[in-house]
Amino acid sequence: MNRLAILGASGHGKVLADTAECCGWQAIEFFDDAWPQIESVSEWQVIGDTALLKGKLQSYDGVLVAIGNNQVRYHKLLELVEAGAMIPTMVHPTAIVSRYATLEIGSVVFAGAVVNADARIGMGAILNTGCSVDHDCVLGAGVHVSPGARLAGGVRVGDLSWIGIGASVRELVRIGSQVTVGAGAAVVSDILDLMTVAGVPARILPTKGKK
């Protein structure tokens, strides 16, 4: 029986567990740092926290992190890699991933997503339901492409950036690290690191407290 541990008893964790079952994983157990206050997530038991998981890594054929916050997810993934965890990728059977695309460890591709030829997806990335990542895109570590978002060919997205639900990014655009792209935005020009953008076309939002 192949066994998968998921760190993060969240809504994202439910989708990941469901995807894992569709991929043939037979036993799935959750861990969360809010345990024992959290004892279950949907149909699955939460049986410990990060420390307990690190002590049981040899019991699992794979370990994935299901935490929506990009920075937290990525740092937890690095912690587990350092501890010797086996970190797979997870691709839903209805997703279409080109054989010429590259997925690094810990990345997940959910139902209906499309990843085209020569796209490169970084460690711990989330390609969420029905999104598309076209040819020659390069996504850094810990990136999250939300449901229904569209990246045209040759787009580059830096580490830990988040592309909001239904957003679109024009071909060859460069998006920096730790950028937030708002829901439904249309990104037509490059975005520097640490920016938050929204709208059609996407514009930089002012920092809180400043006009």
Task: Check 75, 92, 135, 144 and give the catalytic one.
Answer: 135
pTM of the model: 0.95
Nearest to 182 by CA among 146, 142, 207: 146
In the block, tokens 């708002």 appear at 182
pLDDT tens-digit profile, the chain (211 residues): 799 999 999 999 999 999 999 999 999 999 999 999 999 999 999 999 999 999 999 999 999 999 999 999 999 999 999 999 999 999 999 999 999 999 999 999 999 999 999 999 999 999 999 999 999 999 999 999 999 999 999 999 999 999 999 999 999 999 999 999 999 999 999 999 999 999 999 999 986 544 4
Rounded-to-integer distance, Cα 101 and Cα 18, Å: 24
135 part of the active site: yes
DSSP the chain: --EEEEE--SHHHHHHHHHHHHTT--EEEEE-TTTTT--EETTEEB---HHHHHHTGGG-SEEEE--SSHHHHHHHHHHHHHTT-----EE-TT-EE-TT-EE-TT-EE-TT-EE-TT-EE-TT-EE-TT-EE-TT-EE-TT-EE-TT-EE-TT-EE-TT-EE-TT-EE-TT-EE-TT-EE-TT-EE-S-B-TT-EEETTTTEEPPPTT--
How many residues in the chain?
Answer: 211
Could you give the domains of the chain? 3-88 (3.40.50.20), 89-199 (2.160.10.10)
Dihedral angle of Cα 192, 193, 196, 199, to the nearest 10 degrees: 30
Q: Which two tokens stand for residue 161?
A: 């950036």
